[in-house]
Amino acid sequence: MTLMLRALREHAPSILVAALSSAFGVSLISITGVLTEVIADADLNSETLTFILSFIAVVFIVIALYVGALVTANTFATIIAGRVRTIALLRLIGSSAAMQRRAVAREGLTVGVIGALLGGIVGVLFPVVVVGVGVAVGMIPDGSYTYATATMLLPVAAVALTTTAASWVGSRRVLSVSPMDALGAAGEQSIGEQTARRTRNRVALLLFLGGNVILGVAVAIGQTSPLAVLIGLAGGILSFSGVVMAASVVMPRALRGIGRVFGSSPTARLARENAVRYPERSARTTIGLVIGVTLITTFAVTAASYQSIIETAQKEMPGVYEGVGPVLTVTVAVFSVLMGFSALIAAVGMVNNLSLNVLQRTRELGLLRALGFTARQIRRMILIESAQLSGAAVAVGLVLGTFYGWVGAQSLIGGIPGSPGIVLPTMPLALIGVIVVAAATLTVVASIAPSRRATRITPVAALARA
């Protein structure tokens, strides 16, 4: 019973992530369908518009799936890290690593199926409500729309699959748990893993540099052709994949920088050490948020730079750009909402990883309390740690996003008639403010509850935890 509860607590956030992705996919398809019907009825150039709408829907669903899978893989890695001792004990008494990993993958499958189905149901119902409201206020013409189609099974199946795959990837660490980990201090990596990491880091660096070169090429070509944005997209994916792969090298650097802000009290010093000490753990915790912030920033900076280039061009050659303003605003608004959804998924992952980290360290926190850390100091330490983690994630995301976003705008419309050529990126300050505030809120939410739980029990009980 307690085992079931514990499993549920561990997996609830992954179920939520799967449900969110699936609900997003299903409702996007449904709403696209309704819009298509509306357009077809109005008979506006329907073929092209339908195609564009479907294309956009697919892109955003894929982004949500990607973010969801990444978050889930990280969550599973965190859960496995917390189970090392148990796994090692099972290995000690004769269970094979492959058996253990298959068991984790089965959990992943269950999580994926439950989440995808729940999300599917919500995803079917949500558009019904939205369209109902739309009709009531007169934005959408009254009519009988189809809300459920076979296509909707695609995102549901895709979520179940990606979640299972993510749990498989995230459970890689199971293979490296040795029965010895049951005896000694677990959590340190072996030499073999370190070597594998070095190769991985080299590949990551190559991807990052290669990607950036391609991005540069895209900017140059963008001076003459808008198709350069496709080259830019490829470059961006390569470059960002490099960052994600090398997260356990990149994030600790950023963490060290951010950590200085919090001063040198024992609480802050320990928090800084903790955040930097386990690079894998810090990378796992932050990468979801890095992705979320990078996505939003990329998009926002592209939109803002795009707008400013067009405004300049408009001044140069009025007439060419008549009526472009409102369309731009609506497009930006719709895309923001769609992007925001992926960011939400990333946020769920971040909160969950932070909380799991604290829960898994109950014993260490018990020792600190025995030695004289007050419960309040412990809570402050955890808060600072979380603040460092989210601060570093936001900083890295903002830098990357600004760069990618600038490349996006330059390569797309750097060469339009009247364009000022190469310009500095335009930073949407309000949005950056929102991101920082949202990240700060996340930090507090993610650290308060688990640190309270960790300090409510007596130090002895905490020390006795496995």
Partner 1 sequence: MKPTSTDLGLVARVAHLHKSYGTTNTRVNALTDVSVGIRRGEFTAIMGPSGSGKSTLMHIMAGLDTASSGSVWLGDTDISGLDDSNLTVLRRRRVGFIFQSFNLVPTLDISGNILLPFELDGRAPTAEEQAWIDRLIAVLGLTDRLRHRPHELSGGQQQRVAIARALATRPDLVFADEPTGNLDSRTSREVLTLLQTASREYGQSIAMVTHDPVAASYADRIVLLNDGRVVDDRSRSTPEEISSIMLGMEALS
Contact (Cβ atoms closer than 8 angstroms) between residue 277 and residue 250: no
Residues 215-274 touching partner 1, rule: CB under 8 A, are 265-266, 269-270, 273-274
Closest to partner 1 by CB, 52 vs 370, is 370
Residue from 116, 171, 106, 82 nearest 352 by CA: 82
Give ∠ CA 454-457-463 in degrees, rounded to 5: 80
Task: Name residues contacting partner 1, limited to 374-393 (CB under 8 A).
Answer: 374-376
Cβ proximity to partner 1: between 101 and 379 the closer is: 379
Question: Which CB sits closer to partner 1, 184 or 318?
Answer: 184
Structure tokens at 130: 């939205």
* In the complex, least distance from residue 180 CB atom to partner 1, rounded to whole angstroms: 12
Residues 6+ apart with CB under 8 A from 100: 87, 90, 91, 174, 177
**Shortest distance, position 369 Cβ to partner 1, whole Å:** 7
Q: Which of 93, 188, 417, 424 binds partner 1 (CB under 8 A)?
A: 188
State the nearest-atom distance from the C-beta of 370 to partner 1, in Å.
6
Smallest gap, in angstroms, from Cβ of residue 383 to partner 1? 17
**Residue 373 engages partner 1 in binding (rule: CB under 8 A):** yes
CA–CA gap between residue 460 and residue 133 (Å, rounded):
56
Selected binder of partner 1 within 139, 196, 227, 460 (CB under 8 A) = 460
Cβ atoms of 142 and 41 within 8 Å: the answer is no
**Close Cβ partners of 216 (under 8 Å, ≥ 6 residues apart):** none
Question: According to CB under 8 A, which one of 59, 62, 98, 370 is a site residue for partner 1?
Answer: 370
In the complex, least distance from residue 391 CB atom to partner 1, rounded to whole angstroms: 19
Question: Any contact of residue 459 with partner 1 (CB under 8 A)?
Answer: yes
Cβ proximity to partner 1, 260 vs 277, nearer residue = 277
Residue 5 vs 429, nearer CB to partner 1: 5
In this chain, which of 56, 367, 436, 445 binds partner 1, going by CB under 8 A?
367
At its nearest, how many Å lie between partner 1 and the CB of residue 254? 18
Using the minimum distance from each CB to partner 1, give the nearer residue, 265 or 329: 265
Region of 424 please: left (phi>0), alpha (psi -120 to 50) or beta.
beta
Nearest approach, Cβ of 241 to partner 1 (angstroms)? 30
Confirm if 25 and 65 have CB atoms less than 8 A apart.
yes
Identify which range of 164-172, 308-316, 335-343, 370-378 contacts partner 1 by CB under 8 A: 370-378
**Which pairs count as long-range contacts for 436-441, CB under 8 Å and 24+ apart, including other chains?**
436/394, 438/347, 439/289, 439/293, 439/390, 439/391, 439/393, 439/394, 440/387, 440/390
Alpha-carbon span 464 to 466, nearest angstrom: 6
Q: What is the dihedral of CA 442, 443, 449, 452, to 10 degrees?
A: -170
Whichever of 375 and 431 has its CB closer to partner 1, that residue is 375
> If binding is defined by CB under 8 A, does position 89 make contact with partner 1?
no
Q: Stretches 54-62, 199-207, 312-320, 453-461: which one binds partner 1 (CB under 8 A)?
A: 453-461
Residue 409 near residue 305 (C-beta atoms within 8 A): yes
Chain center to CA of 9: 21
Residues that bind partner 1 (CB under 8 A): 184-185, 187-188, 265-266, 269-270, 273-274, 277, 363-364, 367-376, 455, 458-461, 463
